Amino acid sequence: MAKNPNYLSGKEIRAIAKENAKVMKRLEAYKHRKCDESEYLTEMKDKSNILEIENLNTYFFTEQGVVKAVNGVSLNIPKNATVGIVGESGCGKSVTSMSVMRLIQGPTGQIYSGEIRFNATEKADDDRVVEKVYDIAKMPMRDIHKIRGNQIAMIFQEPMTSLNPVFTIGQQLDEVTFINKKGATKEEAKEKSMEMLNLVGIAAPDRVYAAFPHELSGGMRQRVMIAMALAADPRLIIADESTTALDVTIQAQILDLLRDLKDKIDGSIMLITHDLGIIAEMADYVIVMYAGKVIEQGTAKEIFHNPMHPYTIGLQKSKPTLKSDSDMLFNIPGNVPNPVNMPDHCYFKERCDMCLKKCSGDYPGMVKVSPTHYVACHLYEEDQK
Amino acid sequence: MAEEKVTTEFDPEVILEVQNLRKTFPLKKTITGKVTKELVAVDGVSFKLKAGETLGIVGESGCGKTTLGRAILKLHEPTGGRIIFEGRDITDLKSKEMREIRKKMQIIFQDPYSSLPPRSTVGGILSEPVEVHNIVPKSEIKDYVLDLMDKCGLRDYYYERYPHEFSGGQRQRICIARALSVNPKLVICDEPVSALDVSIQAQIINLLKKLQNEMGLTYVFISHDLSVVKYISDKIGVMYLGSMVEFGTKEDIFSMPLHPYTQALFSAIPHPDPDVKMNRIILKGDIPSPANPPKGCRFHTRCPHAMEICSQEAPEYKDYGNGHCAACHLLNK
């Protein structure tokens, strides 16, 4: 019998825990510090982007070792665009979005390093609109209300569990307005909530406003979740697998709704899913992630018509479509590697069928294929050609 | 449909025949135990399946596809109708007699995380059915199980490991190996790949196909994912709120879907190509509750072509040539 490499002795676990406790304590203190706004104000690299993530590292300090869930991710979300992030479970796509919202569960999960620059528009006292660029990764938790909810909103994965079962839909929707608009009256809040329910295409808003979550179907709850996300007029919406739990016909309704809404609210959408079909249909730009890293990014056309990374190619070939007619499905052998103690070489090496000698060396850098298309693979490096 | 004759003639090619199968669950009972309200989960489903074929059953959540799969195995006692397996009516068999039949029909469950006993090793899980059903002599069990594990793509040193040490795809392989350990003829696959990632999904589907060729299995493949069903099936049945709305060969169903629900279902699938612009039929509203289904045709509340007759009379389930059956008033015009 081969020895199980996942097995750790009690001594080893205690050593890891001691090491982790030190780092976690430092990061927790940093998260809850008091500081002036100037400390986390910064500048955008490109003015046309609404969100820029640069070299983000989000780690989970577990007893088995450090899990690098997001490992040096850089990506941009332009204004008024839909950016799709695609990857399998455990690739870090949800953790990336949670990092942007600063919802990573501490003290185990921490943003270790990196920058998340967000272009926020705020109303100053004299009703002028001021643009401010925040570095979300450096913001202390006490100031996070400046962006969470009112600038960036999130539609969560499971509409079944994300609503509070003991309050009516109306109460939960009104709360958003109360929090984001100081001194709002009950009537104003209700008016706004009704407007939002109408916007997401709920046929009988009066009835839904007074209903409890358990009285609604899955599709209706997801609409309510979207209404709640939109109630504070956010500039960026993060939709994290928001249609995965729904049936196909209901999914089609919700996607249709999201597409309409993007134009109406004049914002950007960060769409996280594992379904390539949804990405192809919705996204302008696509980011493919694998084991905590971005391995390929480009416009939807580039990724779907000219995929370059062996993983992207394999992913597209292994999905049966209504039009494919082959006898055997292509499959990527093996599994996603263990997230603890990642190797130094390319993480996809063990499953790749186009390996070079070089692949055992350093992790490949991002290679520019076209102005918008980047791929992290040794196959496309200059000296290879 | 209730007056339909129950045929008893035996076609040796047909391994499974379901006639007018019905399964209801009681919702409300009086104090004397009389059922006053019931949920009709499966309502009058009929089909025939030949040996070596794969029948795909698609439908949205709550349409009764899982109940149908379990009722065929008699894990749910059917309320009405007949199930004929290899020419033998198994509907009224007692559980002792069913044990013999179960050797020939097995099921693979949806969730590989909860369908394996956490306290037994892989070896234990796989040898138990072999032992219970006396498939091979006791001394040969281990070799038999190792051989089976090899067939299903499991390494031999997994024999002593526990289910929690495996990923979802590996666990599903263990579930498949367990179902096949008794050499069944019919395997009911209840959403075997929906809990898995795309790249792992392809591995499992290929494994199921390979095993079918090697062992001559017949599958009933239940899934909500149409593209997977199309890939693996020979025949497809589309279900909506407990009844079969369309049934036919894969080619017929995909080239010429008759029922408006089937058409809408096909058009709702996102296609992984940004240039393809689908003419999408977006259905309005939600699926009605199966406890309180609409009168007449069950689909009329969401149907884009609903007519007056649809809300009054249930359409007849008829054959429109070449075994392509559907139930819709539009087709009778």
Parse chain A into domains and list their residue ranges.
158-233, 289-384
d(CA B192, CA B112): 8
Average pLDDT over residues A18-37: 90
- Residue numbers in B near A207 (CB within 8 A): none
For residue A315, list chain B residues with Cβ-Cβ distance below 8 A. 198-199
For residue A7, give the 3-state DSSP assignment: coil
Q: Does A204 touch chain B (CB under 8 A)?
A: no
Cross-strand partners of B247: B237, B325
The predicted pLDDT at position B2 comes to 43
Confidence of residue B122 (pLDDT cuts 50, 70, 90): very high
| Residue whose C-alpha is closest to residue A156's, from A250, A225, A85, A248 | A225
List the single range of A208-212, A333-337, B263-267 with lowest mean pLDDT: A333-337
Q: Output B304 or B285, whichever has higher pLDDT.
A: B304
Describe the crossing of helices A186-199 and A169-180 by its angle, rounded to 10 degrees: 110
pLDDT band at B112 (very low <50, low <70, confident <90, very high): confident
The answer to whether residues B81 and B17 touch, using CB atoms and an 8 Å cutoff, is: no
* Contacts with B231 from chain A: Cβ below 8 Å: 320, 324, 329
Whether the bond into A107 is cis, omega within 30 of 0: yes
Strands (E), chain A: 49-62, 65-78, 82-86, 109-123, 129-135, 152-155, 236-240, 268-273, 285-290, 293-299, 367-368, 374-375
pLDDT band at B249 (very low <50, low <70, confident <90, very high): very high
Q: Which residue of B has its CA nearest to A279?
A: B272
Average pLDDT of the segment spanning B116-130: 93
- List the one residue out of A254, A251, A193 whose CA is nearest residue A227: A193
pLDDT in tens, A332-368: 887 777 777 788 888 888 888 888 888 888 888 888 9
Identify the residue with better confidence: A19 or B279.
Answer: A19
pLDDT of residue A262: 83
* Average pLDDT of the residues in A128-141: 88
What is the distance in angstroms between the Cα of B220 and the nearest Cα belonging to chain A? 19
- With 60 as the cut, is the pLDDT of residue B5 above it? no
Amino acid type, A150: N
Q: CB-CB: which of B205, B228, B286 is closest to A250?
A: B286
Model confidence, pTM: 0.84
Judge: A329–B202 Cβ closer than 8 Å, yes or no: yes
Would you call A281 and B199 a contact, using CB atoms and an 8 Å cutoff? Answer: no
Average pLDDT in chain A: 86
The confidence band for A329, taking pLDDT boundaries of 50, 70 and 90, is confident
Amino acid at B19: Q
Q: How far apart are CA B230 and CA B200, in angstroms?
A: 18
Q: Whole-angstrom Cα distance, residue A243 to residue A240? A: 8
Q: How far apart are CA B20 and CA B10, in angstroms?
A: 17
Q: How close, in Å, is residue A369 to chain B by CA atoms?
A: 20
Residues of A in contact with B157 (CB under 8 A): 1-2
- Total residue count of chain A as it appears in this document: 385
Task: Mean pLDDT check: name the lowest of A278-282, A325-329, B14-18, B87-91.
Answer: A325-329
| Alpha carbons A346 and B81: distance in angstroms, whole number | 58
d(CA A10, CA A30): 30
A273 bridge partner residues = A86
The overall average pLDDT reported for chain B is 88
Residue A165: pLDDT over 80: yes
Stretch A128-155: mean pLDDT, rounded? 88
According to the model, what pLDDT value does residue A1 have? 47
List residues bridging with A90 in a β-sheet: none
Between A7 and A184, the higher pLDDT residue:
A184
Alpha carbon B37 to chain centroid, angstroms: 26
Name the token pair of A316. 């597209």
Identify which has the larger pLDDT, B28 or B128: B128
Residue of B212, B213, B273 to mutate when probing chain A, most A C-beta within 10 A: B273
Mean pLDDT of A204-230: 88
Q: Does A129 touch chain B (CB under 8 A)?
A: no
Contact A222, A243 (CB under 8 A): yes
Least confident of A320-334, B78-92, B122-136, B187-201: A320-334
Q: Would the pLDDT of A162 be above 50?
A: yes
User: Residue A337: is it exposed, middle or buried by C-beta count within 10 angstroms (0-12/13-18/19+)?
Assistant: middle
Contact call for residues A46 and A133 (beta carbons, < 8 A):
no
Question: Chain B contact for A338, CB < 8 A?
Answer: no
Pick the residue of A281, A348, A372 with the most B CBs within 10 A to test the interface with B by mutation.
Answer: A281
Task: Outline where DSSP puts E strands in chain B.
Answer: 14-29, 35-50, 54-58, 80-85, 88-89, 105-108, 186-190, 218-223, 235-240, 243-249, 317-319, 325-327
Cis peptide before B270 (omega within 30 of 0): no
With contacts defined as CB-CB under 8 Å, which chain A residues touch B283?
A: 249, 252-253
Residue B155 has pLDDT above 90, yes or no: no
Question: A300 at the B interface (CB within 8 A)?
Answer: yes
Residue A322, pLDDT above cutoff 60 = yes
Integer Cα distance of B64 and A97 in angstroms: 36
> Which pLDDT does position A4 carry in this prediction?
60
What pLDDT shows up at residue B1?
A: 42
Q: What letter represents residue A83's amino acid?
A: V
Higher pLDDT: A56 or B61? It is: A56
Interchain contact, B60 vs A314, CB within 8 Å: no
Q: How far apart are CA A23 and CA B124, in angstroms?
A: 43
Roughly how many angstroms between the first and final C-alpha of chain A, as a whole number? 44
Considering only CA atoms, which of B26, B6, B25, B28 is closest in space to residue B17? B6
Mean pLDDT value of segment B7-31: 83
d(CA A40, CA B10): 79
* More confidently predicted of B10 and B212: B212
Which pLDDT score, from 0 to 100, does residue A5 have? 61
| pLDDT given at position B175 | 94
A126 vs A123: CA distance, rounded Å: 8
pLDDT of residue A190 exceeding 60, the answer is: yes
* pLDDT score at B63: 87
Question: Backbone phi, then psi, for A288, in 5-degree steps?
Answer: -105, 125
Please state the rounded mean pLDDT for residues A56-76: 90
Residue of A nearest to B285 (CA): A250
Is it the case that residue B23 has pLDDT exceeding 60? Answer: yes
Judge whether B277 is closer than 8 Å to chain A, CB to CB.
Answer: no
What percent of chain A is modeled with pLDDT above 90?
32
State the DSSP code for B327. E
Amino acid symbol at A159: P
| Chain B interface includes A143 (CB < 8 A) | no
A222 CB neighbour count, 10 Å cutoff:
27
Answer whether A249 sits within 8 Å of B198, measured CB to CB: no
Output the pLDDT for position A323: 67
* Residue B281 pLDDT exceeds 50: yes
A 346-385 residues inside an 8 A Cβ radius of B: none
* Tokens 């050797």, located at residue: B103
Using only C-alpha atoms, chain A has a radius of gyration, in whole angstroms, of 22
Average pLDDT of the segment spanning A50-68: 90
Check residue A81 and give left, alpha or beta (phi > 0: left; psi -120 to 50: alpha): beta
Question: Is the ipTM value over 0.90, yes or no?
Answer: no
